[in-house]
Amino acid sequence: MLLPPYQSASATQRSFELQPGDFAGRVIAVTGATGGLGTQLCHALATAGATVVMIARSEKRLDALYDALLAASAPTPVQVPLAQDKAAEADYAELSGLLASELGGLDALVHTAACSAAPMPLGDVSQADWARMFAVNVSAARLASLACLPLLRASSLASLVFLLDYKPNAYWGAYGVSKQALHALMSMLADETEGMRDGSGHPRLAVNGYDPGPMRTALRRKAFPGELENQSPQPSARLGPLLSLVARTDRQQTGSALYHD
Ligand SMILES: NC(=O)c1ccc[n+]([C@@H]2O[C@H](COP(=O)([O-])OP(=O)(O)OC[C@H]3O[C@@H](n4cnc5c(N)ncnc54)[C@H](OP(=O)(O)O)[C@@H]3O)[C@@H](O)[C@H]2O)c1
């Protein structure tokens, strides 16, 4: 099986916006919830009525996001403090148990968490950094997805989305290689689950990837410290295709890797 080639998000997906109530009653978990894209995503999901499960490593930043979502009259969000470079299978089993017992299930899981470093030649990447980036960018995404799979299987319209970065250019180091591994993980998981169909023949669980392109966030600043503030868009400008994948606007779409051009 070849990896699915990246396809440009359609104009409809790029301009997709949620309406209030679109996600009422749905439970959606976001890793990297306090990051640049993660924060914007949590706001968009919550204002559309979702109960957002915010997974992030800093309790202080989680508290601030919790307060901001409540101030926007969103359903009470759930905070899950988790350092994903250290988390093990048992932590994700606990997360899945909490989702089942406290929220009654899970409808979507979006992996935005990513660990990156300043660009450098592969020979300069320390083994410790290599291992940490693979732990967060690949292993944690695998463990969280597998732990949540039974809950997603029970949802009537489930979505699993991985944030990708499609160019493994020179000097992208462990981050660049790990994102290629994540692309493969997404594709294999989509293949392994695509046989699960609903009564209308649509995949019960959609598994897709999305590369939002350059966005003005901490991750981008680390890679391009000299870039001016207005040289790359804010993450809010790149949400459309991601939200449309979570909302399953194309009920057949699974195993695809979209990018925002
Ligand atoms: N920005 C871009 O130009 C760009 C381009 C293509 C793809 N992407 C992808 O888009 C996604 C979102 O990136 P972003 O730009 O929003 O980056 P960001 O602002 O740096 O957010 C990354 C998030 O990952 C979290 N994280 C890092 N290490 C972690 C760990 N050990 N345990 C738990 N969480 C950890 C960070 O936590 P803290 O909040 O505690 O720092 C942060 O919330 C990423 O998957 C990235 O690869 C970004």
pLDDT tens digits for range 138-154: 999 999 999 999 999 99
Is the pLDDT reported for residue 1 higher than 80?
no
In the block, residue with structure tokens 């295709």: 241
Q: What pLDDT is recorded for position 81? A: 98
Is the pLDDT reported for residue 31 higher than 80?
yes
Q: How confident is the model at residue 114 (pLDDT cuts 50, 70, 90)?
A: very high
How far apart CA 188 and CA 129 sit, in angstroms, is: 26
Q: What pLDDT is recorded for position 36? A: 98
- The sign of the dihedral angle between the CA atoms of 27, 78, 222, 145 is negative
Is the pLDDT reported for residue 218 higher than 90?
yes
Q: What pLDDT is recorded for position 253? A: 97
What pTM did the predictor assign? Answer: 0.98
257-259/6-8 β-pairing: parallel
Q: How confident is the model at residue 229 (pLDDT cuts 50, 70, 90)?
A: confident
From edge to edge, which strands make up the β-sheet containing 257-259?
A: 6-8, 257-259, 205-211, 158-163, 108-111, 27-31, 51-56, 78-81
Q: Which residues on neighbouring strands pair with residue 203, listed in sequence order?
A: 197
Q: What pLDDT is recorded for position 168? A: 87
Q: What pLDDT is recorded for position 256? A: 97
Summarize the confidence of residues 52-77 as an average pLDDT.
97
Distance between Cα 218 and ligand 1 center (Å):
8
Q: Which CATH architecture has domain 6-259?
A: 3-Layer(aba) Sandwich (3.40)
Is the pLDDT reported for residue 10 higher than 80?
yes
Q: Count CA atoms closer than 13 A to 214's CA, side-chain side.
A: 12
Q: What pLDDT is recorded for position 103? A: 97
Tell me how far CA of residue 155 lies from CA of 43, 108, 119, 174, 254, in angstroms.
Answer: 22, 9, 40, 35, 16
For 109, the token pair is 């899981």
Q: What pLDDT is recorded for position 4? A: 85
Q: What pLDDT is recorded for position 2? A: 82
Distance between Cα 206 and ligand 1 center (Å):
22
In terms of C-beta distances under 8 Å and separation of at least 24 residues, what long-range contacts does 65-74 make, across chains too? 65/33, 65/34, 65/39, 68/43, 69/42, 69/43, 72/43, 72/46, 72/47, 74/46, 74/47, 74/49, 74/50
Q: What pLDDT is recorded for position 239? A: 98
Q: How confident is the model at residue 33 (pLDDT cuts 50, 70, 90)?
A: very high
Summarize the confidence of residues 11-35 as an average pLDDT.
97
Mutate which of 219, 222, 245, 260 to test ligand 1's pocket (most atoms within 8 Å of Cβ)?
Answer: 219
Residue 205: which H helix or E strand, with range?
A: strand 205-211
Which stretches of the chain are DSSP H helices? 11-14, 36-47, 59-71, 89-103, 127-134, 140-154, 173-193, 218-223, 239-247
Distance between Cα 94 and ligand 1 center (Å):
23
Summarize the confidence of residues 163-173 as an average pLDDT.
94
How far apart CA 192 and CA 30 sit, in angstroms, is: 22
Is the pLDDT reported for residue 198 higher than 80?
yes
User: Residues lining ligand 1, judged by CB closer than 6 Å?
Assistant: 32, 34-38, 56-58, 61, 83-85, 112-115, 136, 163, 165, 211-215, 217-220, 235
How far apart CA 31 and CA 103 sit, in angstroms, is: 17
Nearest alpha carbon, ligand 1 atom 42: 35
Is the pLDDT reported for residue 70 higher than 80?
yes
